[in-house]
Amino acid sequence: MVDLDRLFNPLSVAVVGASNDVRKTGHRYITNLAKGSYSGELYPVNPGESEILGLTSYQRVTDIPGDVDLAIVTVPARIVPKVISDCSRKGVRFAVVHTAGFAELGVEGAGLQEQMIEQAQSGGTRIIGPNCMGIYSTQAGINTVAPVPATQEDAGTVAFVGQSGWATENVLGIGYERGLRFGKVVSIGNQSDLTVEDLLEYFGNDDNTSVIGIYIEGMKRGREFLRIAREVSRKKAVVVWKAGRSEYGVRAAMSHTGSIAGDSIAADAALMQSGVVLARDLEHLIDLMVGFTSPVLPAGNRLGLLVEAGGGSVAGSDSAAALGFDLCTLSTETQQELIGILSGVIPPFAPPRNPVDIVWGPSVNRSSFFLRCSRVIVKEVDALLVVNYREYDDEFAVGLAKLRDEVNKTILIVPGHSFENRKGMELMTRHGVPSFTIPERALGTLQSMLRLSRYRSDY
């Protein structure tokens, strides 16, 4: 296993291509590090500048006085091999090469990429990229990927590897809004040296990682990926969106990250047999990562549905049927218990067989009302989906999380109006009560959670 500790927590960082010119990406990277949460040593490198943001600018990496754990490289492609040669000579542990214009551009670029790798190997510098957006680490306060905070307060246990800057920045941005809190994120680009397999293995062994998301166009070491995934899936969810599936997609992937994609149907089967959870698209990928932040996976397919929205009840029921959930009729005792809680509090409603559609909740003490109903229903099912209005507040989130821990069953939640409730959805997910925009997305995710749960028991 490649030890990546210093990649995610470097004591010293050199920005090669740092600049005083605000139009250059090298300006953005050095500014983010100098003015952000990163507190280690910081060295700008640019032969044309003597000082950048008050820091001495070095001509070359080899001129830097102290050790360098990580070099962030953003210089023209043709200069990259020389910079990496310097990194090797200097003993730099990791270089993140943002620059594009390598294998993704065809034969000539591939040659340049080869040259760069030769230089890296000469001194043992390990490469992320080229043609990538870099890394995000809350531990180190480093973020070259997306407009999302990367401080200790925002730290979480979700990790992500994306072979696309677009996918990576969207997973970070949309995911953060949805309540995902990341620890370590990498945009790996062309995978010229370190590959998704290295990252998966490292995250699999990282105590601060609980959920691993992956966007990949082409695997360099497919068999190894499956071997690692098989082990990691036993304790952590590995969610994979494999793109470049079609003839068109393969063509696009080739010019994007120089990836060669294989047979998708065979790959899907092999991935699923290794416990990997498959995503169809960006939003599905994020839904799945949200779902797996739940500390509990369902043990079976009995589903309880507590709704305050008739249409949501029908949609949830249709979806439950389509996905093979058992919307089991609650026992007479449980129905009576629910009627006891509900009668006098809300207008007349249909028998609470399951789904339990309470039509319209009471106007006071709503959180405790829904918690009481949830507590009764959850006894007889493996997982509970709640679709209700408003009050996605601390009381409700903490209450549902406590109930989940007491009964050790999965609880998911969908607000009546997602467009009014983004903050509340985020809050719920952060408490391990994964929240979704519509019942279908919640139950599709629950189905994947059940599959992983079964993979683990069958193992």
Beta-carbon count within 10 A of 121 CB: 14
Shortest separation between residue 450's beta carbon and a copy of itself, angstroms: 17
How many residues lie near a copy of itself (CB under 8 A)? 72
Shortest separation between residue 315's beta carbon and a copy of itself, angstroms: 6
Among 111, 262, 310, 340, binds a copy of itself (CB under 8 A): 310
Shortest separation between residue 402's beta carbon and a copy of itself, angstroms: 28
Return the range that interacts with a copy of itself (CB under 8 A); candidates 83-91, 97-105, 110-118, 122-130.
Answer: 97-105
Q: Which of residues 213-272 bind a copy of itself (CB under 8 A)?
A: 215, 217, 243-249, 251-253, 255-257
| Cβ nearer to a copy of itself, comparing 156 with 439 | 439
Q: Which of residues 5-64 bind a copy of itself (CB under 8 A)?
A: 23
Q: Which of residues 335-354 bind a copy of itself (CB under 8 A)?
A: 347-351, 353
Among 315, 342, 358, 401, binds a copy of itself (CB under 8 A): 315
Nearest C-alpha neighbor of 104 from the set 252, 264, 263: 252
Q: Residue 152 CA to chain centroid, in angstroms?
A: 17
Tell me: does residue 416 bind a copy of itself (CB under 8 A): yes
Please give the Cα distance from 442 to 173 (Å, whole number). 20
Among 317, 367, 447, 448, binds a copy of itself (CB under 8 A): 317
Concatenate the DSSP letters of all residues of 246-288 into one string: SHHHHHHHHHHH------HHHHHHHHHHTTPEE-SSHHHHHHH
Bridge pairing between strands 182-187 and 134-137: antiparallel
Q: Which of residues 146-205 bind a copy of itself (CB under 8 A)?
A: 147, 162-167, 169-170, 173-174, 177
| Cβ nearer to a copy of itself, comparing 11 with 341 | 341
Please give the Cα distance from 106 to 112 (Å, whole number). 10
| Cβ nearer to a copy of itself, comparing 31 with 121 | 31
Phi, psi at residue 262, to the nearest 5°?
A: -110, -160
| Cβ nearer to a copy of itself, comparing 69 with 217 | 217
Shortest separation between residue 282's beta carbon and a copy of itself, angstroms: 5
**Residue 173 burial (C-beta neighbours within 10 Å; 0-12, 13-18, 19+):** middle
Please give the Cα distance from 279 to 160 (Å, whole number). 14
Q: Which of residues 353-372 bind a copy of itself (CB under 8 A)?
A: 353, 355, 357, 359-360, 363
Q: What is the biggest distance separating any 2 CA atoms in the chain, rounded to whole angstroms? A: 80
Residue 306: its H or E element? strand 303-307
Nearest C-alpha neighbor of 326 from the set 306, 309, 295, 305: 305
Shortest separation between residue 310's beta carbon and a copy of itself, angstroms: 4
Shortest separation between residue 207's beta carbon and a copy of itself, angstroms: 30
